[in-house]
Structure formats: C-alpha cells, structure tokens
Amino acid sequence: MRKFKRFPPRGLRFRSLLILTGALMLLDAFAPRANADVIAYFNFEDSTVGGPLDLTSEADQGLGVATTIITNYNLADISEVSSTFTDNRLAADVDPPLLALGMAKTQLNSPADFDIPLFSAQGIFQDMTLSFAINVAGNGFTTATLWYSINGGATFINSGNFVTIPTSGVHVFSLAVPTAANNQPLLVIRLEFTGGQSNGGNSQDIIDNIQVNGTIVPEPATVAGGLLGVVGLCWFQRRRLIRFVRFRRT
C-alpha cells in the first residue's frame, strides 16, 4: 500500500504561522533601528531673569535625555536674560519663549566651552548634529567650533567643524558630529566659542534652543535580552509542535 506523507492539521499549520509571525514581530521590535530623534534639548526657560542659570535639558518634557551643560564661563559674566526669539525652537516645546543665556565679557571668557554629556541608559547615539540659535549684539564671539570626547570629558578632539558668527542679527547654525563619535557610551559634545571682542558688561551674544539630534540605538543589553527571549519562544513552540505531531501519528 502506498504511504502518503502526513501533514499537520490545517488549524495546527495556521497556529504555527501565527507563532512564527509573532516571533518575527518581537525580533523586529528588539532589533536596533535608525529613528531620527531629539537626543538633547536646552531652552534655558526654567529660571527667571537674572536668576540661577538653567543648564538642564528638557527631558522633563520628554524631549531627549536628561543631561546638564557644564561650562567654564565665569558665572559672573553669563546670566539668564529676557529673550523672545524662537529660532531653532522645537515645535513640541511647551515652555513659553521668555529666557535665554546672555554672554558678556566675551574677550575675557574666550574660549567659552559648553559641554553636553551624553551618558544615557536609553542607549548610544549615531549620526548626530548640534544646532543652536544666537542673537548677536556686536563685539561678541566670532567663531563656534564643535569638539567631542569619547572618554567622559577627560580629553577632547577638535571635529574640524566650525561656523563664523556674523556681527549682528539672529542666526541658527548646525554642526555635524563626526562618525568617530558614534556608539560611544562616554560621549561628551563641546560647543566652543572663541574670538570674543569685548569686556563690556552687556550681553554681546545671546544663545538659545540648543539641540542635539540624531539616532538613538537601544542599549545593547536590552537588545540581547529581547533576542534571547524571541529565540526561547521559538524553541519552546517548536518542541510543542513536534510533540503534537508525534501524538497525532500514534
């Protein structure tokens, strides 16, 4: 008698397809992906005119990671000032545009460094740019340069990317972060101003709405855990399927 190859029942095959589809969806969910996002955002609004500097990011709004700017600027020469320009402001920002950082005595404070640590449990970062808005009143800084550190700020590398700051008006500048900074867990980005021209007490430059944008890559341990879970699910369902087919044959 001719023997025919036996196949699992149609319902079992359909269930197996659903299991496979679910596993693939989980795999896709845990795999690293390139989603352009706000990595860090600073609007300097959580203070008052002349009050303590607000150098914290807007992570409390859900806009990027939690981090705080570190600066070598003499605190007596930099202050929260009234400012209503909205250049480079995020559309999702719910804070009213009332404040910014006013920088005085730019010659005395050159070079002025603003360091942004990017140590985050959310993951690591790729394909980054740093942008900012600046209102120039005259006799302020002439150049802004991007530096970066991959050892937590112990040493910095000049990216070679810089912009020349005009002598007046409001401007938005964007600086690309080199690919050598990608996927660095101890990354610090530095925005450095040089060429200050005045030691007057008025704000020669007003800076606002600093953004670091790019791709957030999930933390490797999270990805690995998710992948192991998917593999375990597939293996468990495979064993159940084999046992069911053997039972049907008997």
SS (H, E, C) 22-57: HHHHHHHHHCCCCCEEEEEEECCCCCCCCCCCCCEC
In this prediction, residue 2 carries a pLDDT of 54
Give the sign of the dihedral formed by CA 174, CA 175, CA 181, CA 186. Answer: negative
Residues 176-179: contacts with CB within 8 Å, 24+ apart?
176/128, 176/129, 176/146, 177/128, 177/129, 177/130, 177/146, 177/148, 177/212, 177/214, 178/148, 179/126, 179/127
Query: pTM of the entire structure?
Result: 0.77
Residues near 180 by beta carbon (within 8 Å), at least 6 away in sequence: 148, 150, 157
The arithmetic mean of pLDDT across residues 120-139, rounded, is: 92
In this prediction, residue 242 carries a pLDDT of 52
Pick 59 or 230 by higher pLDDT.
59
In this prediction, residue 1 carries a pLDDT of 52
- Whether omega before 111 lies within 30 degrees of 0, making that bond cis, reads yes
Q: How confident is the model at residue 228 (pLDDT cuts 50, 70, 90)?
A: very low
The arithmetic mean of pLDDT across residues 158-182, rounded, is: 97
In this prediction, residue 206 carries a pLDDT of 98
Least confident window among 18-27, 49-58, 74-83: 18-27
pLDDT digits (tens, 9 = 90+) for 184-200: 999 999 999 999 999 99
Is residue 243 pLDDT above 60, yes or no?
A: no
CA proximity to 90, closest of 204, 172, 188: 172
Is residue 223 pLDDT above 90, yes or no?
A: no
Pick 4 or 166 by higher pLDDT.
166
Contact 26, 226 (CB under 8 A): yes
- Separation between Cα atoms, residue 16 and residue 143, nearest integer Å: 62
Classify each residue of 123-139 as buried b or exposed e, where b means 16 or more C-beta atoms within 10 Å of its C-beta. bbbbebebbbbbbbbeb
Here the tokens at position 2 are 């001719």
Residues near 15 by beta carbon (within 8 Å), at least 6 away in sequence: none
CATH entry, 36-218, from 2.40.50.140, 3.40.50.720, 2.60.120.260, 2.70.98.40? 2.60.120.260
In this prediction, residue 218 carries a pLDDT of 80
Q: How confident is the model at residue 123 (pLDDT cuts 50, 70, 90)?
A: confident
Is residue 205 pLDDT above 80, yes or no?
A: yes
In this prediction, residue 234 carries a pLDDT of 46
pLDDT digits (tens, 9 = 90+) for 80-108: 999 999 999 999 999 999 999 999 999 99
pLDDT digits (tens, 9 = 90+) for 12-40: 444 544 444 444 444 444 444 444 799 99
Here the tokens at position 171 are 């401007």
Is residue 6 pLDDT above 80, yes or no?
A: no
